[in-house]
């Protein structure tokens, strides 16, 4: 009976999607939405433990478009990026008491047209339509507080299902360039940004690949879907969006994006060391998961990664999300300003978000996405691109990315085995596409620092031999513990340091720019 019910719902959703209008608009290019107003004053608050967090989430998202005063949910490390904004942090009310739900509600209520009443089951629907109603989202137990602040109910969506939303006029007004895959219970993480965008919020932990595809079929080509769905894995959601000519932006635990997206980005050039003549075998190391927005915002600077005391003691490459300058400008400026000459940033991953370019069905859409990607690379002064695909090393789609982005080269890893192509290299218009030769990854054969160093030391030293070049992808979630053991979740940069220390003297560890240039000079 349950299977039959899901089949019926699937076809109803498909029919409603078709009836809701054309799938593709004339403009095939998408970009990262930004707040309409840059915040000049931030009112610091803590995440409530009750349902009032839904109200504050919707409030933060709405304020990003209408006010230069906004709410900042307290997260670790915010003090470090605050100097890269023009905002003034306000930690208390004029009378000295802290900002809480009721004080924030009373402070900002006059800016809204009312409130949307919902229950737990319809919270995602209420958040989806909050922008078009200019109304905050309220659960029944907080309705009295909303009314006391002078607000009236705009619409009651209690009992609404996703199917009812899709058949409503409100659905046709939702943003077709972005959507969000996130449970409403995660608020305030990410969902403030969904409210700011006026975007569809959906999450089904049991969705099949067809159901996942059907949920987003209404989106335009080149759409961005923010969030993550660990319940149905990594491969299927990304594949379904790729076939819809869309990208997924992992960001389920990103916070304050509506506020962060309002800050301007002051372009900073990378501090790369001057090139020198390199002999012998050549190695380039690149950290994985650089596209992960929540990690970029909250944990990228921890002592196991970018905040490591060993960073800068050897050349190393870091991933930077394509949308970093748009949705997290203060963080991008902070990381770039702290670079050493041994640090480099490579644009990550595969496009404006995580996607499999070889699975796209529209060459026009892919070309449009690649052109926007090229703009992001210039903005972030990134000269190389990391591509994760499923069998796309020889694909023309990879060629399109390389030609349209003006990248010096592409670092390629394949989904089913990051280093499965064993360092193969091919050229497009004289530019190299280099597959990973090794992966520094715990619990995988040959993936430890000592094993990889030993393998590299056995490579030929002739620069005209393709086997003398090694791109190593470093798994961000593997590292060395205090006992010197290579395990999950330990100090990643300590593991890299050990690997580098084991390399022979006739091995050069270089930046991505030097790596691609040397390959072009000697093999192209």
Pick from 172, 239, 230: nearest CA to 205? 230
Domain boundary, last residue among 260, 292, 324: 260
Reported as a single tens digit per residue, the pLDDT across 342-384 is: 999 999 999 999 999 999 999 999 999 999 999 999 999 999 9
Alpha helices (H) in 437-476, listed in sequence order: 449-457
* Domain co-membership, 292 together with 253: no
Cis, bond preceding 301 (omega within 30 deg of 0): no
User: Quick one: pLDDT at residue 273?
Assistant: 66
With bands split at pLDDT 50, 70 and 90, how would you rate the model's confidence at 421? very high
Residue 279 has pLDDT above 90, yes or no: no
Three-class SS state of 424: coil
CA dist., res. 20 & res. 228, Å (int): 25
What is the per-residue pLDDT for 29?
A: 64
Residue finishing a domain among 260, 289, 305: 260
Query: With bands split at pLDDT 50, 70 and 90, how would you rate the model's confidence at 501?
Result: very high
What pLDDT score was predicted for residue 406? 84
The tens digit of pLDDT for each residue in 75-127 reads 888 999 999 999 999 999 999 999 999 999 999 999 999 999 999 999 999 99
pLDDT above 70 as % of the chain: 94
Cβ-Cβ contacts under 8 Å for 53 (sequence gap 6 or more): 47, 187, 188
CA angle 158, 159, 163 (to 5 degrees): 120
The pLDDT assigned to 15 comes to 52
Q: What is the pLDDT of residues 151-169, one digit of tens each?
A: 999 999 999 999 999 999 9
**Separation CA 378–CA 404 (nearest Å):** 12
Same domain flag for 293 and 155: no
**Domains: count for the chain:** 2
Domain end among 194, 229, 260: 260
290, 247: one domain: no
Q: How far apart are CA 181 and CA 162, in angstroms?
A: 13
| pLDDT the model gives residue 172 | 97
| pLDDT above 90 for 320 | yes
Provide the 8-state DSSP code for 217: T
Task: Return d(Cα 123, Cα 502) in angstroms, integer.
Answer: 54
Do residues 492 and 389 share a domain? yes
Residues 33 and 177 in one domain: yes
Q: Is residue 268 part of a domain?
A: no
Q: Token pair for residue 522?
A: 């000697």
Residues 324 and 181 reside in one and the same domain: no
Report residue 3's pLDDT band, with 50, 70 and 90 as the boundaries. low
pLDDT tens by residue, 37-76: 999 999 999 999 999 999 999 999 999 999 999 999 998 8
SS3 418: coil
Alpha-carbon gap, residue 244 to 230, rounded angstroms = 20
* Mean pLDDT estimate for the chain: 93
- Expressed as residue numbers, the domain containing 122 is 2-260
Query: Which helix H or strand E contains 73, and what residues bound it?
Result: strand 69-73
Beta pairing partners, 237 = none
Q: From residue 11, how far is each of 22, 211, 232, 238 by CA, in Å? A: 18, 9, 21, 22
| Residue 509, φ and ψ in degrees, nearest 5 | -95, 125
Q: What is the pLDDT of residues 236-275, one digit of tens each?
A: 999 999 999 999 999 999 999 999 999 999 988 998 766 6
Whether residue 276 has pLDDT greater than 80: no
Q: Give the 3-state secondary structure of residue 269.
A: coil
What is residue 524's predicted lDDT score, i.e. its pLDDT?
85
Whichever domain contains 338, its CATH number is 3.20.20.490
């Amino acid at each position: 009976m349950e299977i039959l019910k899901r089949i019926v719902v699937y076809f109803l959703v498909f029919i409603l999607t078709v009836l809701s209008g054309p799938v593709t608009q004339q403009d095939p290019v998408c970009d990262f939405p930004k707040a309409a107003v840059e915040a000049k004053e931030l009112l610091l608050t803590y995440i409530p433990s009750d349902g009032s967090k839904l109200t504050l989430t919707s409030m933060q998202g709405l304020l990003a478009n209408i006010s230069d005063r906004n709410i900042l949910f307290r997260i670790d490390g915010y003090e470090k990026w605050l100097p890269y904004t023009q905002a003034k942090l306000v930690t208390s009310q004029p009378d000295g008491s802290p900002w809480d739900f009721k004080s924030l509600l009373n402070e900002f209520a006059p800016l809204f047209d009312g409130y949307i009443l919902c229950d737990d089951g319809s919270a995602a629907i209420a958040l989806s339509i909050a922008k078009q109603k200019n109304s905050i989202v309220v659960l029944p137990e907080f309705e009295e507080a909303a009314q006391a602040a002078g607000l009236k109910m705009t619409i009651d969506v209690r009992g609404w299902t996703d199917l009812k939303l899709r058949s409503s006029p409100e659905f046709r007004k939702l943003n077709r360039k972005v959507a969000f895959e996130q449970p409403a219970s995660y608020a305030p993480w990410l969902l403030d940004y969904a409210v700011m965008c006026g975007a569809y919020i959906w999450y089904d932990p049991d969705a099949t690949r067809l159901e996942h595809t059907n949920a987003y079929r209404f989106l335009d080509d080149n759409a961005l879907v923010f969030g993550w769905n660990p319940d149905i894995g990594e491969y299927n959601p990304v594949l379904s969006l790729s076939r819809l000519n869309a990208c997924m932006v992992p960001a389920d635990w990103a916070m304050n994006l509506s506020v962060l997206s309002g800050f301007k980005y002051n372009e900073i050039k990378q501090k790369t060391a001057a090139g020198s003549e390199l002999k012998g075998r050549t190695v380039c190391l690149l950290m994985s998961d650089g596209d992960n927005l929540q990690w970029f915002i909250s944990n990228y600077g921890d002592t196991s990664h970018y905040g490591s005391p060993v960073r800068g003691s050897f050349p190393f490459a870091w991933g930077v999300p394509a949308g970093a300058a748009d949705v997290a400008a203060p963080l991008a400026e902070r990381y770039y300003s702290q670079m050493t000459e041994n640090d480099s940033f490579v644009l990550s991953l595969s496009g404006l978000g995580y996607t499999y370019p070889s699975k796209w069905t529209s060459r026009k859409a892919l070309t449009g996405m690649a052109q926007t990607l090229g703009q992001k690379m210039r903005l972030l002064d990134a000269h190389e691109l990391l591509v994760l695909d499923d069998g796309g090393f020889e694909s023309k789609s990879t060629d399109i990315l390389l030609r349209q982005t003006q990248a010096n080269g592409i670092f390629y890893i394949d989904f089913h085995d990051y280093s499965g192509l064993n360092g193969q290299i091919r050229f497009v218009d004289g530019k190299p596409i280099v597959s990973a030769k090794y992966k520094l990854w715990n619990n995988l054969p040959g993936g430890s620092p000592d094993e990889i160093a030993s393998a590299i030391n056995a490579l030929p030293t002739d620069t005209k031999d393709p086997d003398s070049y090694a791109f190593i992808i470093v798994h961000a979630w593997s590292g060395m513990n205090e006992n010197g053991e290579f395990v999950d979740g330990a100090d990643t940069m300590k593991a890299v340091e050990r690997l580098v220390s084991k390399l022979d003297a006739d091995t050069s560890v270089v930046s991505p720019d030097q790596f691609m240039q040397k390959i072009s000079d000697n093999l192209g």
